[in-house]
Amino acid sequence: MSRTALFGAAGLAAGVLVLVLGFLLLGGDSAKADAPRLLEAAGCTVQTVKALPGDHSVTTASGTSPRWNTSPPTSGPHYQVPAIWGAYTEPLLPAQVVHNLEHGGVFIEYGKDVPQATVDQLKGFYDAHQNGTLLAPLPSLGSKIALGVWTTSSSQDSGTGRLATCTAFDEKAYSAFFDAYQFHGPERFPADALTPGS
């Protein structure tokens, strides 16, 4: 093969690599931009707050923190032991759930007035997104559904708490939330380490 052909092949390979990397990088940014838009189009209220530093200052599993800045909480002080990953029929303790979010998880919580048909849809969605996910009732939400996550872009900042409060289930919008934010917590674990029952 001639030197010109080698340089041409190398240039083509480099160009393809740049395109693939650009697509992957922009795709991640696109997912993060699409999630709030899709959630709002689905009738959700999206709250984004500066995350509070995480520490184990909540000394009992049933404890709370006056510093939490979303309800339900999406960052900040928490109990030292997280909840076991899974789907629940009883409410979870927020101080434990925040610890799960710190590890990159997402919660789906639903109020006491959410119809059983919608709860069944949420369970089906959970079944397709089990790793790093908690599903549980939270009676105080009434007829609403809440999605919560704690994300960071570096170990130097406490990150962002994100809470979407929705009036209905929307698979596309919920999937966008998970795709954009799950597994990006301040203390990251691989997805296969956040399995139900662990």
Strand order in the sheet with 133-137: 45-50, 160-166, 145-151, 106-110, 133-137, 86-87
- Does 6 reside within a domain? no
- Does 11 reside within a domain? no
Residue type, 151: T
- Does 4 reside within a domain? no
Q: Total domain count for the chain?
A: 1
- Does 144 reside within a domain? yes
- Does 102 reside within a domain? yes
Q: What is the pLDDT of residue 22?
A: 38
Q: Is there a contact between 54 and 158 (Cβ–Cβ < 8 Å)? A: yes
Q: What φ, ψ does residue 95 adopt, rounded to 5°?
A: -65, -30
Q: Give 133-180 pLDDT, tens digit per residue.
A: 999 999 999 999 999 999 998 766 789 999 999 999 999 999 999 999
Percent of the chain past pLDDT 70, that is, above it, reads 83
Handedness of CA 50, 105, 22, 31 (dihedral sign): negative
- Does 153 reside within a domain? yes
* Residue numbers of the domain that contains 110: 34-193
Q: Give 49-97 pLDDT, tens digit per residue.
A: 999 999 999 999 999 999 999 999 999 999 999 999 999 999 999 999 9
Residue type, 80: Q
Mean pLDDT of the chain: 88
- Does 27 reside within a domain? no
In angstroms, the CA 22 to CA 84 distance is 37
Angle between helices 171-181 and 3-41 (to 10 degrees): 130
Q: Is there a contact between 151 and 74 (Cβ–Cβ < 8 Å)? A: no
Residues in the chain: 198
**Is residue 16 over pLDDT 80?**
no
Joined tokens for residue 94: 């927020």
- Does 158 reside within a domain? yes
Q: Give 99-116 pLDDT, tens digit per residue.
A: 999 999 999 999 999 999
